[in-house]
Structure 1
Amino acid sequence: MAVNCFQCQYFFVTWDPKSPRGCKAYGFKTRELPSIVVKRSSGMECMKYEPKKGAVKR
Protein backbone atom coordinates (compact mmCIF):
# COMPACT_ATOMS: atom_id res chain seq x y z
CA MET A 1 0.00 0.00 0.00
CA ALA A 2 1.35 3.40 -0.97
CA VAL A 3 2.16 6.00 1.67
CA ASN A 4 -0.25 8.95 1.77
CA CYS A 5 1.95 12.01 2.22
CA PHE A 6 -1.06 14.20 2.99
CA GLN A 7 -1.47 12.30 6.28
CA CYS A 8 2.25 12.47 7.21
CA GLN A 9 3.61 14.94 9.76
CA TYR A 10 6.68 15.61 7.56
CA PHE A 11 4.73 16.65 4.46
CA PHE A 12 4.49 20.37 3.68
CA VAL A 13 3.26 22.67 0.93
CA THR A 14 5.68 25.25 -0.50
CA TRP A 15 5.23 28.59 -2.26
CA ASP A 16 7.41 27.38 -5.14
CA PRO A 17 5.17 26.69 -8.18
CA LYS A 18 7.83 24.38 -9.68
CA SER A 19 8.09 22.29 -6.49
CA PRO A 20 4.85 22.73 -4.54
CA ARG A 21 5.27 19.73 -2.20
CA GLY A 22 8.00 18.82 0.24
CA CYS A 23 9.23 16.37 2.85
CA LYS A 24 10.87 17.63 6.04
CA ALA A 25 12.16 14.15 6.95
CA TYR A 26 14.16 13.76 3.74
CA GLY A 27 14.71 17.48 3.17
CA PHE A 28 13.53 17.99 -0.40
CA LYS A 29 10.83 19.70 -2.47
CA THR A 30 9.20 18.20 -5.56
CA ARG A 31 6.35 18.53 -8.03
CA GLU A 32 5.13 15.00 -7.25
CA LEU A 33 4.19 13.49 -3.92
CA PRO A 34 7.40 12.88 -1.95
CA SER A 35 6.49 9.21 -1.36
CA ILE A 36 6.47 8.63 -5.14
CA VAL A 37 9.94 10.15 -5.48
CA VAL A 38 11.25 8.03 -2.60
CA LYS A 39 9.76 4.84 -4.07
CA ARG A 40 11.16 5.55 -7.54
CA SER A 41 14.66 6.44 -6.31
CA SER A 42 15.07 3.74 -3.64
CA GLY A 43 12.68 1.02 -4.78
CA MET A 44 11.18 0.94 -1.27
CA GLU A 45 8.19 2.58 0.39
CA CYS A 46 8.93 5.65 2.52
CA MET A 47 10.52 4.59 5.80
CA LYS A 48 10.06 7.98 7.52
CA TYR A 49 6.26 8.13 7.39
CA GLU A 50 4.71 9.29 10.68
CA PRO A 51 0.96 9.94 10.88
CA LYS A 52 -0.04 13.46 11.83
CA LYS A 53 -1.06 13.77 15.43
CA GLY A 54 -4.84 13.79 15.63
CA ALA A 55 -5.22 12.76 11.97
CA VAL A 56 -8.25 10.71 11.08
CA LYS A 57 -7.35 7.57 9.16
CA ARG A 58 -9.66 6.95 6.17
Structure 2
Amino acid sequence: MNKTNKSTNKRLTCNGCIYFYITYKKERPWGCKKFGFISKFSPATEVFNTTGIECAYRISKNS
Protein backbone atom coordinates (compact mmCIF):
# COMPACT_ATOMS: atom_id res chain seq x y z
CA MET A 1 0.00 0.00 0.00
CA ASN A 2 1.29 3.45 -0.90
CA LYS A 3 0.82 5.98 1.89
CA THR A 4 1.43 9.64 1.14
CA ASN A 5 2.30 12.27 3.68
CA LYS A 6 0.22 15.40 3.08
CA SER A 7 2.95 17.68 4.45
CA THR A 8 5.42 16.54 1.76
CA ASN A 9 2.94 17.48 -0.98
CA LYS A 10 2.47 21.00 0.38
CA ARG A 11 4.47 23.63 -1.52
CA LEU A 12 5.72 26.92 -0.18
CA THR A 13 3.95 30.01 -1.52
CA CYS A 14 5.11 33.60 -1.79
CA ASN A 15 1.83 35.10 -0.60
CA GLY A 16 2.48 36.93 2.66
CA CYS A 17 6.28 37.11 2.18
CA ILE A 18 7.94 40.51 2.66
CA TYR A 19 10.00 40.04 -0.51
CA PHE A 20 7.05 39.18 -2.80
CA TYR A 21 5.55 41.88 -5.03
CA ILE A 22 3.30 42.31 -8.06
CA THR A 23 4.83 43.95 -11.13
CA TYR A 24 1.60 44.53 -13.10
CA LYS A 25 3.45 43.44 -16.24
CA LYS A 26 1.38 41.02 -18.29
CA GLU A 27 4.36 38.86 -19.32
CA ARG A 28 5.92 38.66 -15.83
CA PRO A 29 3.42 39.56 -13.12
CA TRP A 30 5.30 38.44 -9.96
CA GLY A 31 8.64 39.35 -8.46
CA CYS A 32 10.99 38.64 -5.59
CA LYS A 33 12.97 41.49 -4.02
CA LYS A 34 15.36 39.09 -2.26
CA PHE A 35 16.46 37.30 -5.43
CA GLY A 36 15.94 40.34 -7.67
CA PHE A 37 13.89 38.82 -10.49
CA ILE A 38 10.41 38.94 -12.01
CA SER A 39 8.67 35.90 -13.44
CA LYS A 40 5.68 34.52 -15.25
CA PHE A 41 5.33 32.01 -12.43
CA SER A 42 5.37 32.38 -8.65
CA PRO A 43 8.92 33.13 -7.43
CA ALA A 44 8.72 30.14 -5.06
CA THR A 45 8.00 27.91 -8.05
CA GLU A 46 10.90 29.41 -10.01
CA VAL A 47 13.31 28.91 -7.10
CA PHE A 48 12.18 25.29 -6.63
CA ASN A 49 12.41 24.50 -10.36
CA THR A 50 15.87 26.07 -10.62
CA THR A 51 17.51 24.82 -7.42
CA GLY A 52 15.38 21.82 -6.45
CA ILE A 53 14.88 23.12 -2.90
CA GLU A 54 12.26 25.31 -1.24
CA CYS A 55 12.99 29.02 -0.77
CA ALA A 56 14.89 29.54 2.50
CA TYR A 57 14.43 33.32 2.59
CA ARG A 58 10.64 33.51 3.04
CA ILE A 59 9.73 35.87 5.88
CA SER A 60 6.08 36.40 6.77
CA LYS A 61 4.76 39.98 6.77
CA ASN A 62 3.04 39.22 10.06
CA SER A 63 6.32 38.40 11.87
The answer as to 2:31 corresponding to 1:22 is yes
Q: Relative contact order: is structure 1 or structure 2 higher (C-alpha 8 Å, sep ≥ 6)?
A: 1
Identity level (%): 31
Give the superposed CA RMSD.
Answer: 1.2
| Unpaired segments ≥5 residues, structure 2 | 1-9
| Unpaired segments ≥5 residues, structure 1 | none
Q: Distance in 2 between matches of 1:15 and 1:39?
A: 23
Structure of larger gyration radius? 2
TM-score, normalised by the number of residues in structure 2: 0.78
The answer as to 2:42 corresponding to 1:38 is no
Shift of 1:47: 1.0
